[in-house]
Amino acid sequence: MLRNVLVTWPEEAPIVKWLSDAVAKSFRKVKWNTETEKGLLTKLRPPSPLELSALAPKTQDPSPAASGPPRGAAQPLTNWRLREDSSSEMPLFDIEVGGGLYWVKEEDAHRNCKRQLLKFWNDRGGRDEVIKKAGCAITKNTKFPIHDLLKESSDGSKFRVEWVGYEDKSRSWEPASEIDEKVIHAFRQRRLRRRV
């Protein structure tokens, strides 16, 4: 994301100047053991906005609206891969956007372009089929990523869950004991803010 911001903003934009000044100040404060270390880190410095704009694809529209995945992205979802933090008990995916333009977490694709993600999975036989192709078995112990909690039962023992990568008809009531406490807390905090 930061690369796109720096590429699309003009060099004289205040934030770009501030970032450049902050990097330069912190670089000067470091005490170097040798000139070699200083030279090595100078070579590893982040590229300037001008250097980034030279690296940007020429076909990409440089306007801020075209940077990053827009809501309801027009770029096609083209491929999937298992994430490194994935496990056989909880398969997590990254989704390729625009034929290699960039990769996004499946949760972000679900939030920003849900219909497109659901079509992507349906074209491949559904998310469950892809899980099987990835070498993971779906068992009673398999956990799925939660997109959102929608409702809470009157006694607080169950929650209506929307699952990442699944259609609305797959929403289900799940016991609170099976849902991460952080997710439940965030849901209750959001609900309290809405009432105020």
Does residue 66 sit in helix, strand or coil? helix
Q: What domain count does the chain have?
A: 3
Report if residue 140 sits inside a domain: no
Q: What is the pLDDT of residue 60?
A: 44
Q: What is the pLDDT of residue 72?
A: 47
Task: Give pLDDT < 70 ranges for the chain.
Answer: 1-74, 196
Report if residue 64 sits inside a domain: no
Q: What is the pLDDT of residue 2?
A: 41
Report if residue 61 sits inside a domain: no
Report if residue 16 sits inside a domain: yes
Q: Which of these three, 133, 156, 171, is where a domain ends?
A: 133
Tell me the helix, strand and coil percentages in the chain, rounded to 5.
45, 15, 40
Q: What is the pLDDT of residue 24?
A: 53
Q: What is the pLDDT of residue 151?
A: 94
Report if residue 65 sits inside a domain: no
CATH of the domain at 160: 2.40.50
- Look up tokens 């409702």; give the residue: 151
Do 128 and 153 reside in the same domain of the chain? no
Give the single-character DSSP code of 169: G
Q: What is the pLDDT of residue 23?
A: 53
Domain residue limits at 82: 77-133
Q: What is the pLDDT of residue 32?
A: 46
pTM of the shown model: 0.59
Report if residue 128 sits inside a domain: yes
Q: What is the pLDDT of residue 47?
A: 55
Q: What angle do CA 116, 142, 179 make, to 5 degrees?
A: 85
